[in-house]
Chains A and B, each alone.
Chain A
Amino acid sequence: MNIASDRSGGLSDLASGLLLGELQAQIDRCSRCGTCRAHCPAFEAIPHEPYVARGKVQLIRAYLEGRLEFTPAMERIFAQCLLCRSCVRACPNGVRVDELVTVARSIAVEKHGLSLTKRIGLQGILPDNRRQELFARAARFYKTSGISRVIGGLRLLNIFPGRISDKERMLPVPAASSLRAQLAPVIAVERPVARVGYFTGCLTNLVFTSVGRAVIDVLARHRVEVVLPGQNCCGIPALSAGDVETYLRLARSNLRSLLAEPLDAVVVDCGSCGLALKEYPRLLGEEAEGLAGKVHDVSEFVAALGTACPAVSDAPVGDARRIVTYHDPCHLKKGLGVSEAPRQLLKSLPGVEFREMAGADRCCGGAGTYCFSHYDSAQRIVEPKIQAIVESGAEVVATSCPSCTIQLAHSLKVRGYGIQVKHVMEMVSEAAGGK
């Protein structure tokens, strides 16, 4: 089949330009065996064939062959993908369903445009650090001042379906000031063993600033000099929404600033940011290869230095050992292939009794904005995860992704569990007597 002849007018730039050659090959490689039915979290939430990876591949195929129109119904189906890559990893033919879904979403954007909310969020706020901070400040005021009760009628989160009160409870409280505003651009150490750039990601910068401080603390204890280069959002929220233009703008800007500094490595504390940086070459080509090779998840980087932390003593911190389990963020394990390093770090910590939970690498349903935009589905997806956490007996769930953290912390809390969710680096920093 010749795509161009069937759908010359119906393809987005992403589909027709950047991935065209591969698009058809990916679709052809899907043998429709159904393996993804055992792995797709969206299908678990909505057990209808259109929602499983195989169904989505066939929908795109039908569209390209001119058998289906790209209706709003199609758009809703393609919105039900967490881009977790569970199917990609399980697929005997390595079909990149995540990319096919992204292409479909970019077609949706081209055909139907972005919603006003998404336009404001993705194009107005996301690319602009100053506006991000203003937005975070407003959100903090909203969450902490009690005003949310007064103006609950404002229904800010009404743009997403589901109960407003639940989503509002899930919304994390942004920090009083952003991480990057709190820190000098270079955190110098004596006789540094390496000089790394720290790509903080938006959520660590604005919300989970303690994670960022833990990352810097641990790296400093290893005598690693940390640089905070100029940076924007990694772009993955835009790409996930099919807004390729915004994504490319952000990617190019990050590429410029991250390559401008002489750095031994670029570390990330979020699997999704890491994956985004690593995969810049998919759409930006060779110019992005230089950066991709330098990107490391911080736990992988630290584990490679030999110990969790030089200052960690053998004596347990405090009196009791805490039972800790680990949740694999999809983009970290299924995207970047990092799963041993965080476990290795946690197991090496005094005061930690590590217990593996069942299905540690099952998607938790967080997936960026998915847990807000598809709250009920996300809650169905997280259910077995919560059970596994509880059955492990853990007091703390460690993970390496702010989105997983939001979803897990909220889901545990609304079910009445007092189990904490922490970033692996927070655990390491605390064990070292952190700051």
Chain B
Amino acid sequence: MTGGEIISRYSAGLERALVRILGKDKVLASPEARVCYAYDGSFAESLPDVVAKPSRVEEVARILEFAYREGIPVHPRGAGSGLSGGSVPSGGGIALVMADMNRIREISREDMLAVVEPGVVTGKLHRAVEERNLFYPPDPASSDFCTIGGNVAECAGGPRGLKYGVTRDYLLGLEVVLPGGEVVKAGGRAVKNVTGYDLARLFTGSEGTLGVITEATLRLIPRPPFKKTLLVVFDDLNRAGQAVAEITAAAVVPRTLEIMDRVSIAVVEKYASCGLPADADALLLIETDGFREAAEAEAAIVESACRRSGAREVRVAADEAEAQALWKARKAISPAVSQLKPTKISEDATVPRGKVPEMVRRLGEIRDKYGISMVIFGHAGDGNLHPSIAADRKDPAEMARVEEAVAEIFAAALELGGTLSGEHGIGILKASFLRSELGDAGLAIMRRVKDALDPKGIMGPGKVFPE
């Protein structure tokens, strides 16, 4: 869907109507602007007819009132860094860019929470709360530039999900604008809250298909005072998978437990050169945290579990700078896959923790069977692997092999009791597989929820649900 048509399918009336709501500066309809809001971090692409950049909830409400009345698709977007096409304007319509609503409204030590607008960059929130010795754990690899709104909409996770959970586990309340323009408050500031249905969680991970998030109230925890970072080197990827199982069996929960295979190491070292051992077949990047004694004791248990599994070497980061260099490498993997070939297909299939060694083994088999370029990395500790395939869209034979391989990856994950997506979302790219996991009944009930909240289907058409 390369959206070759630069001619807008909606009349100039659309632009004029939005200008009346937002003013001239916040509405962009030039071909250049439309091209630049047609993509996210995946290979999905589709031109919006117009780009709207509201800065207040009232503006969002008026846009949704107008769009609902006229039946125009709306695609909420943060930084456009998603990996499933969740913000890509499939079928055109309005790209609703929330990035200008970017204030941290409140950080409360007393209530241990933060109230933020959706355009706040996640890393900025991290820094702001950490300055106050508080902690917001969800940390997608894109945290330097992705936004909270997108994190909630996709239920972003990240390495720390293993110990601390994902975005939904830190969500206390939301303000959401529904199609039609109604502003709804869901949840609130209380940690315990069972009044009615848990609407905040309904919107979490809804990928912009139910409404537009205009404010989030996020739970904070105390910042762990100490952290120890280990890099464990393996000569065999399967042994690394085994080590993950050993660590889980040893009943310690590291802060993070990341796996990188040989190809991941090679692609990140090319431009990011962080000094990873080039001859390793696999690496585990592991952190333990908490009070110093606890973190060090856990690190010792982790180390012996790795050695039992046949680790070649266990390195301890000497200081924070060294630890950060390792994380820089880890964060670079997903984008770096496109060095291999231009079309990057980032998968996110997730299995129960105990099945990680089996999943790693099967991924290797699938890679060999279809002869595809695939890197295997991800959050091994919580079963959320990121097998990422590099291909060339212009090569139909290769793309056909990739399609089969992807279907087999999903089948393997489901067979092992896992899921299609751990944290990237279904978006456009995985919509056709939804039924395989949810079944007819599961899919039908989701449709009923969608129809109840968005009867005209203006929110993100073409996403999540199979056509």
Contacts of A73 in B (CB 8 A): 30, 32
Contacts of A148 in B (CB 8 A): none
Q: Is the CB of B41 within 8 A of A33?
A: yes
Contacts of A68 in B (CB 8 A): 6, 31-32, 35
**In the bound complex, CA of A200 to CA of B205 (Å):** 58
**In the bound complex, CA of A73 to CA of B53 (Å):** 20
Contacts of A77 in B (CB 8 A): 32
Q: Is the CB of A58 within 8 A of B336?
A: no
Q: Which of A28, A38, A59, A92 contacts B36 (CB 8 A)?
A: A59
Contact with B along A15-41 (1 / 0, CB 8 A): 000000000000011111111011000
- Closest residue of chain A to B4, judged by CB? A67
**In the bound complex, CA of A28 to CA of B335 (Å):** 12
Q: Is the CB of B28 within 8 A of A93?
A: no
Q: Is the CB of B272 within 8 A of A92?
A: yes
User: Cβ of B68 < 8 Å from any Cβ of A?
Assistant: no
Contacts of A47 in B (CB 8 A): 99-100
**In the bound complex, CA of A68 to CA of B5 (Å):** 10
B373 CB to nearest chain A CB (Å): 14
Q: Which of A1, A48, A67, A94 contacts B28 (CB 8 A)?
A: A48
Contacts of B123 in A (CB 8 A): 38
Q: Is the CB of B335 within 8 A of A74?
A: no
**In the bound complex, CA of A229 to CA of B456 (Å):** 74
- The bracket for how many chain B residues form the interface is 35 or more
Q: Is the CB of B100 within 8 A of A93?
A: no
Contact with B along A62-76 (1 / 0, CB 8 A): 100101110101100
Contact with A along B120-151 (1 / 0, CB 8 A): 01010000000000000000001011100000
Q: Is the CB of B271 within 8 A of A37?
A: no
Q: Which of B2, B6, B142, B333 contacts A34 (CB 8 A)?
A: B142
Q: Is the CB of A49 within 8 A of B80?
A: yes
User: Cβ of A50 < 8 Å from any Cβ of B?
Assistant: yes
User: Cβ of A55 < 8 Å from any Cβ of B?
Assistant: yes
Contact with A along B330-370 (1 / 0, CB 8 A): 01111111110010100000000000000000000000000
User: Cβ of A91 < 8 Å from any Cβ of B?
Assistant: yes
Q: Is the CB of B32 within 8 A of A74?
A: yes
- Closest residue of chain A to B272, judged by CB? A92
Name B27-81 residues within 8 Å CB distance of A. Answer: 28, 30-33, 35-42, 53, 79-81
Contact with A along B1-18 (1 / 0, CB 8 A): 010101000000000000
Q: Is the CB of B335 within 8 A of A92?
A: yes
Contacts of B20 in A (CB 8 A): none
- The bracket for how many chain A residues form the interface is 20 to 34
The verdict on A1 contacting B37 (CB below 8 Å), with A31-B335, A38-B144 known, is no
Q: Is the CB of B40 within 8 A of A32?
A: yes
A38 CB to nearest chain B CB (Å): 4
Contacts of A65 in B (CB 8 A): 2
Q: Chain A interface mostly helix, strand, loop or mixed? A: loop
**In the bound complex, CA of A28 to CA of B79 (Å):** 21
User: Cβ of B270 < 8 Å from any Cβ of A?
Assistant: yes
The verdict on A33 contacting B35 (CB below 8 Å), with A1-B394, A28-B342, A94-B270 known, is no
Contacts of B402 in A (CB 8 A): none
Q: Is the CB of A34 within 8 A of B338?
A: no
B412 CB to nearest chain A CB (Å): 25
**In the bound complex, CA of A1 to CA of B4 (Å):** 14
Q: Is the CB of A93 within 8 A of B31?
A: no
B261 CB to nearest chain A CB (Å): 17
Name B75-107 residues within 8 Å CB distance of A. Answer: 79-81, 97, 99-100
The verdict on A34 contacting B145 (CB below 8 Å), with A59-B36, A92-B272 known, is yes
A101 CB to nearest chain B CB (Å): 14
Contacts of B40 in A (CB 8 A): 32
Q: Is the CB of B342 within 8 A of A93?
A: no
- Closest residue of chain A to B268, judged by CB? A92
Contacts of B333 in A (CB 8 A): 92
**In the bound complex, CA of A378 to CA of B300 (Å):** 51
**In the bound complex, CA of A77 to CA of B83 (Å):** 27
The verdict on A32 contacting B145 (CB below 8 Å), with A67-B4, A74-B32, A93-B335 known, is no
- Closest residue of chain A to B141, judged by CB? A33
Q: Which of B6, B37, B142, B394 contacts A33 (CB 8 A)?
A: B142
A1, A50, A74, A91 — which one has the most chain B CB atoms within 10 A of its CB? A50
B28, B33, B146 — which one has the most chain A CB atoms within 10 A of its CB? B33
Contacts of A74 in B (CB 8 A): 32
- Closest residue of chain A to B343, judged by CB? A28
The verdict on A94 contacting B271 (CB below 8 Å), with A32-B39, A37-B79 known, is yes
The verdict on A34 contacting B41 (CB below 8 Å), with A48-B28, A68-B31 known, is yes
**In the bound complex, CA of A377 to CA of B399 (Å):** 44
B213 CB to nearest chain A CB (Å): 19
Contacts of B39 in A (CB 8 A): 32, 58
A220 CB to nearest chain B CB (Å): 38
**In the bound complex, CA of A93 to CA of B331 (Å):** 12
Q: Is the CB of A31 within 8 A of B35?
A: no
Q: Is the CB of B339 within 8 A of A93?
A: yes
Contacts of A94 in B (CB 8 A): 270-271
- Closest residue of chain A to B6, judged by CB? A67
Name A53-100 residues within 8 Å CB distance of B. Answer: 55, 58-59, 62, 65, 67-69, 71, 73-74, 77, 91-94
A42 CB to nearest chain B CB (Å): 13
Q: Is the CB of B146 within 8 A of A34?
A: yes
B87 CB to nearest chain A CB (Å): 11
Q: Is the CB of B145 within 8 A of A38?
A: yes
A48, A58, A68, A94 — which one has the most chain B CB atoms within 10 A of its CB? A48
**In the bound complex, CA of A29 to CA of B267 (Å):** 12
Contact with A along B167-202 (1 / 0, CB 8 A): 000000000000000000000000000000000000
**In the bound complex, CA of A77 to CA of B40 (Å):** 20
Contacts of A37 in B (CB 8 A): 79, 81, 145
Q: Which of A28, A48, A62, A93 contacts B271 (CB 8 A)?
A: A93
Q: Is the CB of A31 within 8 A of B36?
A: no
- Closest residue of chain B to A94, judged by CB? B271
A52 CB to nearest chain B CB (Å): 8
Contacts of B4 in A (CB 8 A): 67
Q: Is the CB of A50 within 8 A of B33?
A: yes
**In the bound complex, CA of A240 to CA of B297 (Å):** 56
B101 CB to nearest chain A CB (Å): 12
Q: B-contacting residues of A (Cβ < 8 Å)?
A: 1, 28-35, 37-38, 47-50, 55, 58-59, 62, 65, 67-69, 71, 73-74, 77, 91-94
List 19 contacting pairs A-B, 8 Å CB cutoff, sorted by A.
A31-B334, A31-B337, A31-B338, A32-B42, A33-B41, A33-B142, A34-B142, A35-B142, A37-B145, A47-B99, A48-B33, A49-B80, A58-B39, A59-B32, A67-B4, A67-B35, A73-B32, A92-B335, A93-B339
- Complex A-B, nearest 8 residue pairs according to Cβ-Cβ distance, in ascending order: A33-B335, A94-B271, A28-B342, A92-B332, A31-B338, A34-B81, A49-B36, A92-B335
